[in-house]
Structures are given as structure tokens and as C-alpha cells.
Chains A and B, each alone.
Chain A
Amino acid sequence: MSTHVEKDQVSGHETTGHEWDGIKELNTPLPSWWVYVFWATIVWSVGYWVVYPSWPTATSYLTGMFETTNRTQLHETMANVAAERAPYMERLAALDLDEIVNDSELLNFSMAGGKAVFAENCAPCHGTGGSGNPGFPSLQDDDWLWGGTLEAVNETVHVGVRWDANEDTRFNDMPAFGRDEILEREDINDVVQYVLAFTGRETDKAAANRGAGVFADNCASCHGEDAKGVQELGAPNLTDAIWLYGGDAATITETVNNSRGGVMPAWGGRLDEETIKMLTVYVHSLGGGQ
């Protein structure tokens, strides 16, 4: 290897010895300012190790002079937020739901807080803004399976629906009249026509008339003689315009055949009391609160 380093005459820089078609590659040094910045960053990094968490140790890590980490910063930020909210939270804890709704300041606070909690926990099933999905009730309408008063909503959020882990959970169990062979096929057809007649949509008047007896014997105990539902039992009103799973003949037949049993988790214990109160106030305000 040649030890002679050729110098380029025009620029005064050394060449690398690489040559293509008579063009020689220059070994142009980095601009000095660039090199100084490079060294400065190395010096800076040493200071950084001292101030911030850096090197791992066998069991832990160097925490840095001020023990400032993203994690402690997050905790501080969260603590600050909690401190700012504390006066409201204390009042939320102390007051009844009715009192909260009548205090415009707390109402606003709960609406804003409840909206955020709803988006995090409830929206996946009930839809953003509580607009509902097939099988998951809309919380904006005025039809409630388990009651739409502040207390009833608060209770439902606490205990859930058909949530086995909670002893007090809202529970009912509609028989699967077809699958379990409680009713004959014809009876089911008749009772479906009878149910459709509540909203004036029956197609077979004779069948509907025959279905009245079937309804009285099998359905009225929960849904009521007038079929307007019983909220204590969570039995839906069959005479209104709102159908959770669908109100056409085929879907109602499917419901009678196989039953339905939606599940909602119990949020008591998962969310604290104040948060559930905010959630209740928010849900109640969506348009259907009773």
C-alpha cells in the first residue's frame, strides 16, 4: 500500500486514492463547526447522564440528580389534575344525584367528566354519545329496560346486567320457547302475530287472535298483561316503537325461539363512586332521562 498521500491542487485537500475515470475522490474534512458541535453533544451527553436517568445497573438504574423521569412527571401531572378536581370531587361524593343535577356548576363538571368516562368505558358497546347498537340499547331515547331515573341508571351502572361476578346484578332470563320446546311452532307464530298487533303490524288477524291466549299464559307474567313491560324485571315494553334486537316478524320469532340475554359489566368497584355519579348524570342528560 502506498504511503504517499496525493494532494489535490485546486482545493488543497488530500485524496482518498479512489479514482474513477480520472476523477479522484477528495478526502474533504468535515467543517470545523460540525466537529465542534459533535464534541459538544458528547460533552452534553455526560451532563445528561448525571441529571437524568441513564445507565442500567444490575438491579436498578441510575436515577439522575433530580430523579426526573417521564413516569414521575406523569404522576405529578396526574396529582395536579386530581388536586384541581378535588373540591368538585368532594362535593360530588357528599351530594345526592338530584342535588348534583340542580347545581349548575357540578352539572357542567359531571357532564364533561362523564362524557370522557363514557367514551373510555361505555362507547364500545353503547356507541359514541350513547346512540346504541343492535343488541346494545340506545341511551338517548326514552325507553328504559331497567329504569331511566337517576337512581335506576346509577344502580345499573354499579351492578351491571347478567354480570355473574356481582351478586346484586340486574338479572332476568327469558325462556327459549322454541329451542327448549316449551311452545309449538304454531303457537310461536301466533304469539308473534299477536305482538305485532300491538303496533298495528299483524298480517294474520286469526293468528293474532289465537296468540292472545299464548301471550297471557307464557309472556304476560313478565311483560305484563298489557305488554307494556315491567322495569323491575327488566322486561321490555312490547307496545312501543323501540326494539332492541329488531321489531320485524322474523327477528321477534328468533327472540321467542332462542331468547336473548345481553350482558353488561358491573362498574361498581371498577370506577370510583364519584366517577359513576358523573357517568350517571351524563347518561341521564343524553335525552331520555326520567
Chain B
Amino acid sequence: MAMPHLQQPDPAHPLPQNDTLPEDDRDQPLYKTRDKVYPKRVSGYFRNLKWFALITLLAIYWIVPWLRWDRGASAPDQAVLIDMDMGRAYFFFIEIWPQEVYYITGLLILAAIGLFLATSLFGRIWCGYGCPQTVWTDLFMLVERHIQGDRNARMRLDKSPWTFEKIWKIGATHLSWLVIAAATGGAFVLYFNDAPKVIADIFTGHASLGVYVTIAFLTFSTYLLAGWAREQVCTYMCPWPRFQSAMLDDESMIVTYEGWRGEPRGPIKRKNLVRGEVPEVGHCIDCYACFNVCPTGIDIRDGLQMECIGCGLCIDACNEMMDKVGFPRDLVRFDSVQNSQLRAHGKATNIRILRPRTIFYSVILVLVASVMAFGLLNRTTLEVNVLRDRNPIFVTLSDGDVRNGYTLKVLNKEQAAKTYILQIEGLDASDFQVIGLTPNQDGTFSLDVAPDRVGSFRVFVAANPETLNSESTPFEFSVTDPEDNVRETYDTVFAGPK
């Protein structure tokens, strides 16, 4: 093929100017403007489920920091607390030190696999019921509806000019949102501080700057995400809808519209009903009730869509209409795609919980949970770390012996004061001392460590270079808790001249 020649500008035929471009290419907005969603009030089974989830989850969020759990005098009595200053995380009977942060990783893995499992079984129930974005948006919509009225009233209000009534209603809505948002941000800091104390500090102006900044940030983000952004968070910001389809199959329970029964859709003629004639149209009466209640503003009759959060409110709305017109319920129903097709052909439906996919997720879930439970149950209450001096590697003493210095960190993870026995094993030491302590009669040392604290000890070990085989002789520090008969060792080396 010949190289195309660059086209030279031809004065007789200038390049197309803006007004000569085709209609479609001109004035195209780069971003889609949002179609504001006005969800209508609905009642029914799924709405009740959603209320239940909302109340339960919000109650957990706001009540948990106030639960107390007695751990003795040496630790805070808040049941759930992440104590940044002290570097401890408490969850009822569990206490985590910073180096055990892998438990958090385990929790996150459990949460992810749990989400996969729930999705493969029941579709996006997390999105529809459990996600904070859904819960707080639902709460904000409740407030909005109480002040401004239902769907039609809100649409009218938005279109109306700025009258006193509109200013009052919109203002009151936003003010209420801000109050809820502030309570949300305020409750978040309770998980990181002693709740009763920090609440008092917040209102008297004595809390730290970090507390105020956190509250301000979360107030702002809650107000923005639940008040303004709403379904856009799910559609544009959240990655989950984009790959949820990887967890779904034909047997996953999702919100589906039974097209075989509903189509062809069309408005119903009351007189036909009154006469008892069978309508020529499908059961869908095209009333848009499902669309009107949808919190993300989609039409479920278009099939499973990325925007659908699987909350099932359209099912409630449709059932209400079906009851009114006397058609069978569940034209929109919570069922699998496979069952929907089986029903279309008049066959028996079934729900298979155990499928390769769900079994796979469950096995991983149980596996990770077991590892974590094993780890927690066998969590050591005593840990020893040894830092060997490197500057210098060894010190020559006046009698010709060499001495090594060590810093011993003894972690007492129990809520009780402990006395541990320290000894060295595997080294022919000519001297062994702990700064500030006198040795026991058998040459060991008793180390006192306060409850839930790290004890730090300077240890010096000396040996005659003649007795050392190499410039680096391995040996170990052994720390024993005589009460519980727990023993921890730490392998280290003794350095000497070449």
C-alpha cells in the first residue's frame, strides 16, 4: 500500500469549521449530567427488611463504643477500642498489639470472601442492605421525605421558585442532614478514644485537634456522600459493581423481572377487568411503580444492570400494584435467572445452595477463619525480642575477655504483673549481668514487667575468647514465666575476635 500523502490545505476548500461539523459532534457534553432521583415511599417485605437492617446497623454503630468490658486496672474498660496512643486494639476479650496487625488483614480477607459468598448466593445484598452508603443514604432520604414530602411533592418543590416555604424546607433538610452527619463523625472518634471522656472533651473544647479534624472530615463526607452523591457513589465511585458479575451465575438469587409474564406490557383498561375479560397484554401494566421507588433511578424491567443495588424495593412496589389489579404477585421477584426461565416453561424450580462456586468460597472462608481462630487461641502472652549492640560489635575487657551488649525487650501481654526468669543457654559465659539487677543464687535474673507493658533490659554477657570457636557463637536467651510455665527463647549470637 502506498503511503498516504499528507493533505495540503486547499484555500478553495478550507477545513470544516465548528458550524460545519455534523450535529452529533458539536456541543457534546463531556460528562453526563445527573438525573436527580426522587425515590417514592414504598412498604412491603423488602422495605421492612431494609428498615430492620438500617436500625440494627445504625444501632450497632452508635451503641458499641459505649459498651464496657472489665480488663482490670491496667487497661481501658471500653469493649471495642483502638487505642492509638498506647498502641493497643481491644475487641471484647481480644487484645491486639501493633505487631499483631495481621489479624486485621485476616478480618479483611474474611470480609472479602464473605462478600463473594453472599454475592454468589443472593446477589448484591451487601449493596442493598449492609453498605454504609446505602444505610446512610436511606436515612437521609427518610429525613428528606419527612420534611419535603414524597416523590411528587419533592419534584414540585425543586421546580418551584424560591419561596419562603421552599427555603424553609430545603434549609431544614440540609440542617438535619448536617446534624446526622456530625453525629456520624462524632461517633467514629469514640472507637479511638474513651467514649464518655472524649464526648465531654468535644463539647468543652478540650479534645485534641485530631479528634475535631476527624469529626469535621467525616461530617463533610457523610453529608456529601449520603446527601448529594448518593447513587453516584455506587455507579461511578465504587469498584464493586464493576466486577460483581464475576461472582454471579444463573443460580444466584437476584432481583429479576419476569419478562415472559409481563410482556407485552401495557396500561390496563379498567372496563376489561370489570367485565372479567382476559387482557390482551402481559401482566406488566407499565405503571412505573418499580421505577419510581428505585433509589438508583433505574428500570428493573431492562434486566440486571450495574446500577442495581439489589435492594428489592421494586418488588414491594410491583406487588402492591399486582394486588390492586388482581394479578399474581412477584412479577418482579427475588429469584435466580435459571428459575425464572424454568417458570417460563412451566417447569419446577429449585434453589441449589451448594454449587462449586459457593463450596469454594465456603471452604476458603472456613480455612481462613480456622487459621485466625487457631492463632487467637494460641496467641502467646509472652514475647521476647533481643537487639544486639552493633557499635561496637564487642568490647574487650581488661582481663582479656570480650563482652557483648544486648537490649532485651520482654512483652508481657497479660493484665497482670509478671516476674520472669532470664538465663542464657548454649554459651560458656564468664560473666552475665543485667544492668540494675542483682542475680539470683543460680545466676539467673528475675525480670519484673508491669501488666500489658514491654520491659526493656540492658544485658551484658562476657566470655573468654579462648572458649569461643568462631567470631560468631550462636546461643539463646531463655525467658520463663514460672507461674504459667511458659517459656520463650530468642536465638542470637555472641561476637568475638577472629
Q: Which residue of B lies closest to A12 (CB)?
A: B18
Chain A residues whose C-beta falls within 8 Å of the C-beta of B9 in the assembled complex: 22
> From B8, which residue of chain A is reached at the shortest CB distance?
A22
Asked if B391 is an interface residue, CB under 8 A from chain A, the answer is yes
Identify which of residues 212-266 in chain A touch chain B, using a CB-to-CB cut-off of 8 Å: 237, 240-242
Q: Is A287 an interface residue (CB 8 A)?
A: yes
Nearest residue in A to B404 (C-beta to C-beta)? A287
Instruction: For B399, list chain A residues within 8 Å (CB).
Output: 240-241
B17 within 8 A of A: yes
Instruction: Tell me if B's interface is mostly helix, strand, loop or mixed.
Output: loop
Partner of A10, one of B17, B395, B405: B17
Is B161 engaged at the interface, CB distance under 8 Å to the other chain?
no
Minimum Cβ distance to chain B for residue A152 (Å): 16
- Known A285-B435, A287-B403; judge A241-B397 contact (CB<8 A): yes
User: Is B460 a contact of A287 with CB atoms below 8 Å?
Assistant: yes
Asked if B388 is at the interface (CB within 8 A of a chain A CB), the reply is no
Q: How far is the CA of A9 from the CA of B399 in the complex (A)?
A: 95
In the complex, A140 Cα to B403 Cα: how many Å? 9
Among the interface residues A104, A140, A285, which one has the most CB atoms of the partner chain B within 10 A? A140
Q: A143-B398, A237-B398, A287-B395 are in contact. Are A9 and B403 (CB under 8 A)?
A: no
Question: What is the size, in residues, of chain A's interface with B at 8 Å between Cβ atoms?
Answer: 22
Are A138 and B395 closer than 8 Å at their CB atoms? yes
A107-B396 contact in complex given A9-B17, A10-B18, A127-B391, C-beta closer than 8 Å: no
A287 close to B405 (CB less than 8 A): yes
A142 within 8 A of partner (CB) = yes
B398 touches A285 (CB 8 A): no
Interface string of B362-402 (1 = CB under 8 A from A): 00000000000000000000000000010110011111100
Q: Is A242 in contact with B18, judged by CB distance below 8 angstroms?
A: no
> Which A residues are in CB contact (< 8 Å) with B403?
140-141, 287
| Minimum Cβ distance to chain A for residue B387 (Å) | 13
Which one of A127, A128, A141 lies within 8 Å of B398 (CB-CB)?
Answer: A141
- A interface footprint on B274-289 (CB within 8 Å = 1, 0 otherwise): 0000000000000000
Instruction: Give the docked Cα–Cα distance between A287 and B389 (Å).
Output: 12
- In chain A, positions 116-130 with a C-beta closer than 8 Å to chain B are 127-129
Tell me whether A142 and B398 are in contact in the complex, defined as CB-CB below 8 angstroms, given that A287-B403, A287-B405 are known contacts: yes
A15 at the interface (CB under 8 A from B): no
Q: CB-CB < 8 A to B405: which residues of A?
A: 140, 287
In the docked arrangement, what's the CA distance between A241 and B403, Å?
A: 13
Distance (whole angstroms) from the CB of A123 to the closest CB of chain B: 10
A107 to B491, CA, bound (A): 29
Residue of B nearest to A111 (CB): B458
Residues of A within 8 A of B98 (CB): none
| Chain B 13-27 interface residues, beta-carbon cutoff 8 Å to A | 17-18
Task: Indicate with 1 or 0, residue by residue over B409-446, a CB within 8 angstroms of chain A CB atoms.
Answer: 00000000000000000000000000110000000000
Closest to A199 in B: B400
* Known A-B contacts A10-B18, A287-B403, A287-B460; A241 and B391 likewise in contact (beta carbons under 8 Å): no
Distance between Cα atoms of A36 and B307 in the complex (Å)? 38
Answer whether residue A131 sits at the interface, using C-beta atoms and an 8 A cutoff: yes
Q: Is the CB of B458 within 8 A of A285?
A: yes
With a cutoff of 8 Å between Cβ atoms, the chain B residues found around residue A242 in the complex are 396-398
Residues on A with C-beta less than 8 A from B436 are 104, 107
CA distance A22 to B147 in the complex (A): 64
Contact (A128, B397) CB under 8 Å given A285-B458, A287-B403:
no
Report A's interface with B, CB cutoff 8 A. Answer: 9-10, 22, 104, 107, 127-129, 131-132, 138, 140-143, 237, 240-242, 285, 287-288
Q: List 22 A-B contacts (CB under 8 A).
A: A9-B17, A10-B17, A128-B391, A131-B391, A131-B395, A132-B392, A140-B392, A140-B403, A140-B405, A141-B395, A141-B396, A141-B403, A142-B398, A240-B399, A241-B397, A241-B399, A241-B400, A242-B396, A242-B397, A242-B398, A287-B395, A287-B460
